[in-house]
Structure 1
Amino acid sequence: MSNITRWNPISEFEDMMNRYNRMFGLARANGEREGKDLFSRSDWAPAVDIKETPEAFLVEAELPGMAKEDVKVTVHDGVLTIQGERKSEEESNDKKLHRIERFYGSFTRRFTLPDNVDENSVTAGFKDGLLTLKIQKAEPKEPKAIEVEVR
């Protein structure tokens, strides 16, 4: 006798992304919750490039057709979050839509920051539909030996 299990492609995709994130050291303990939030709150996801220099990490997100007022960037508990909404054009009587390929609606992208960054150093720029974030690296914390008195 065999058990029948309903196939859930979203769950399999989340599992694959969690494995990928763990492989590159990007996962957190609550990584599963972050993946579910991404699917439940986002209508689309902007393309993002992450680059590293000796001094900083650079995050570039493509947000064409958006204004900087439509984007919110936060850092909380080691997670960088980029949120926003791209509104669709209002339909008018003198326009007929033949094809819509661009995505509209809200989005949320989350990235787990490595331990060697200064979360308070995040700076942001927005030009020509490109959001650029710069996160300075921090000095690695020296391990501190604690002497324990034996009684």
Structure 2
Amino acid sequence: MFLTKYNPFDEFKDFSSRFNSLLSEFDNRGSSLSGFVPVVNTREGEYAYHVDADLPGVKKEDIKIDVKDDVLTISGERHHKEEVKEDDYHRIETSFGKFERSFTLPKGADIENITASSKDGVLEVIIPKQKSEAEKAKKIEVK
């Protein structure tokens, strides 16, 4: 029979491990612990791929869109400050944070003609599809 010495602090180590695991889950979901993670919707249309990102409070000037090695990256920073002054109180709420989302572009994406627009806190990125070889083919009439 083996005897093990009881250490009451082992319970705290286990608690610490579980607590850190819980914090990392919040971190991955975009809580205020790690800045700002925008909600993104993607869809495929007949002629293009669409990426819509909800960016409330983010100015167009603070958004950066890059394409490198067939990866589209949307990044930027949000600065929001709301101040209310009343006779009996003064309240200031500030929210800020950097964000970055990356997407691997599918084969056939026309990266040379990507467009982006921002309106009412929603960024829309349109990635046109390249025309297929059949559509590019030119029929030559014999005279």
User: TM class by shorter-chain length?
Assistant: 0.5 to 0.7
Number of residue-to-residue matches in the alignment: 107
Residue segments in structure 1 that go unaligned for 5+ positions in a row: 1-5, 18-41, 143-151
Once residues 95 and 134 of structure 1 are traced to their aligned partners in structure 2, the CA distance between those partners, rounded to angstroms, is: 43
Q: Please tell me the root mean square deviation across aligned C-alpha atoms, in Å.
A: 3.3
**Cα distance, 1:128–1:92 mapped onto 2, change above 3 Å:** closer
User: 1:120 Cα shift?
Assistant: 1.0
> Structure 1 segments of 4 or more deviating over 4 A?
6-10, 90-94
- Please tell me whether the aligned partners of residues 119 and 135 of structure 1 are also in contact (alpha carbons under 8 angstroms): yes
Residue segments in structure 2 that go unaligned for 5+ positions in a row: 1-16, 29-33, 135-143
Once residues 77 and 140 of structure 1 are traced to their aligned partners in structure 2, the CA distance between those partners, rounded to angstroms, is: 21
Q: Which has the higher strand share?
A: 2
- Highest CA radius of gyration, 1 or 2? 2
User: 1:88 Cα shift?
Assistant: 3.4
User: 1:91 Cα shift?
Assistant: 6.6
Once residues 43 and 73 of structure 2 are traced to their aligned partners in structure 1, the CA distance between those partners, rounded to angstroms, is: 17
Matches within 5 A, 1:21-60: 43-60=35-52
**Could you tell me which of 66, 70, 91 is aligned with 1:78?**
70
The residue number in structure 2 matching 1:95 is: 90
- Higher relative contact order (CA closer than 8 Å, sequence separation 6+): 1
Give the fraction of aligned pairs with identical amino acids, expressed as a percent. Answer: 40
- Please tell me whether the aligned partners of residues 37 and 99 of structure 2 are also in contact (alpha carbons under 8 angstroms): yes
The residue number in structure 2 matching 1:38 is: none
Matches within 5 A, 1:107-126: 107-126=99-118
- Please tell me whether the aligned partners of residues 88 and 105 of structure 1 are also in contact (alpha carbons under 8 angstroms): no
Matches within 5 A, 1:9-28: 9=21
- Return the TM-score normalized by structure 1: 0.58
Once residues 85 and 72 of structure 1 are traced to their aligned partners in structure 2, the CA distance between those partners, rounded to angstroms, is: 9
- Return the TM-score normalized by structure 2: 0.61
Residue deviations 1:83-137 (CA, integer Å, cap 9, x gap): 010113277886225xx6x952100100111112111111011111110010011
Once residues 63 and 39 of structure 2 are traced to their aligned partners in structure 1, the CA distance between those partners, rounded to angstroms, is: 14
